[in-house]
A and B are shown apart, each in its own frame.
Chain A
């Protein structure tokens, strides 16, 4: 009885064969609509910063260096690949690639940085008109970021106090 059942099990095991993927040796394709790392096309980008406004993780930083140069920096650390930046982009400059093998030893490898020229208004000489108070609430903080520390700072905090926002509480670990 037990012998036959064991033979049966062995037969089942032989019939199943090997299911393990030979992954790092052979490439593994993804589904057609898979969203991987977003790729920014600098030729198409117009620097409207819609992606920075809509990023739920606040992972795209925008800094106006001067009147005509705008830096757009994608950090990619906490990006959830939700694709909202690609949806909102009016010029389709952001594509969600099929790239998922993004493991790295240095977190700075993930970032993409675009230095864009902004053309000014031919009448007033400024890039855009000043935002109304209501619009400033919506745009909270996306221009006042800290590119050197790769951090996004609230507009209100940037004026009031200079201490960092995230690391505000010292934890005692000893």
Chain B
């Protein structure tokens, strides 16, 4: 009974570990902003812990750098088994502006598996809260891939072989759109 009660009470409380693998501190400040009373993410039971061994969730900021990739992997492996990884910011999601430079290996998903992506440079604190809410199932995600395909050429195709001279006028046959 106590166990059920505990699961009910703490089932969705996530303890987060805050790992910066070479970001610019912008996303760190937004994450710390989320923990302030104004946004107060402890409403959802989210608490910042200092060690990956206590954590359920790892918040990754910054790209995987050549120097920090191994440390990031070690920290990920130190977390106990049901674990989530959030990639926060454009660097962690896609490698950042300097994705093709020497020191940067790429996004953190090159080193550790990532469950949730929160793009932005830096993301708004509300965007981070929204990502957390998506993860714990409070709200649905809003984005979906967009694909647009033109099926018809907007102007008629011109080809010189379809030009016919007709008493000082050039007539273009086949004016159909393609």
* A residues at B contact (CB < 8 Å): 19-21, 23-24, 28, 30, 37, 40, 42, 56-59, 68, 75-81, 99-117, 119-120, 122, 152, 165-167, 169, 171, 173
Contact A100 B97, beta carbon cutoff 8 Å: no
Interface residues of B (CB under 8 A from A): 37-40, 43, 66, 69-70, 73, 90-91, 93-97, 99-100, 105-107, 109-111, 115-121, 123-124, 126-131, 133-134, 138-139, 141-150, 153-155, 158
* Cα distance, A111 to B107, chains bound together (Å): 16
Assuming the contacts A75-B94, A77-B90, A79-B90, asked whether A108 and B69 have C-beta atoms less than 8 A apart, the reply is no
Contacts of A56 on B, CB cut-off 8 Å?
97
Cβ of B131 and Cβ of A78 under 8 Å apart? no
Given contacts A40-B148, A78-B95, A112-B146, 15 further A-B contacts (CB under 8 A): A23-B126, A24-B129, A24-B139, A77-B90, A78-B90, A79-B94, A79-B119, A80-B121, A103-B127, A103-B128, A103-B131, A105-B115, A109-B141, A113-B148, A169-B66
Question: What are the residues of chain B within 8 A of A77 when measuring CB–CB?
Answer: 90, 93-95, 107, 117, 119
Asked, given contacts A102-B120, A105-B134, whether A78 binds B38 with beta carbons under 8 Å apart, the answer is no
Task: Report yes or no: B144 in contact with A109, Cβ–Cβ below 8 A.
Answer: yes
**Contact yes or no, A114 B148, CB < 8 A:** yes
Assuming the contacts A20-B43, A23-B126, A173-B73, asked whether A166 and B116 have C-beta atoms less than 8 A apart, the reply is no
Residue of B nearest to A112 (CB): B146
How far is B106's CA from A75's CA once the two chains are assembled, in angstroms?
15
Q: Would B144 and A24 count as touching, CB distance under 8 A?
A: no
* Pairwise interchain contact A21-B38, C-beta atoms closer than 8 A: yes
Assess the B120–A171 pair: CB atoms within 8 A: no
- Docked-complex contact A103 and B116, CB < 8 angstroms: yes
Contact B116 A57 (CB under 8 A): no
Q: How far is the CB of B134 from chain A (nearest CB, A)?
A: 5
Complex contacts, B138 vs chain A, CB 8 Å: 24
Whole-angstrom CA separation of A28 from B110 in the bound complex: 34
CB closest residue in chain B, given A80: B121
User: In the complex, which residues of chain A have a beta carbon less than 8 angstroms from the beta carbon of B117?
Assistant: 77, 103-107, 110
* Minimal beta-carbon separation of A164 from chain B (angstroms): 10
Known: A103-B117, A109-B141, A113-B146. Is A57-B97 also a contact (CB below 8 A)?
yes
- CB–CB B143/A110 < 8 A: yes
Q: How far is the CA of A76 from the CA of B163 in the complex (A)?
A: 45
Contact of A57 (CB < 8 Å), options: B40, B90, B127: B90
Q: Tell which of B94, B121, B127 has the most Cβ of chain A within 10 Å.
A: B94
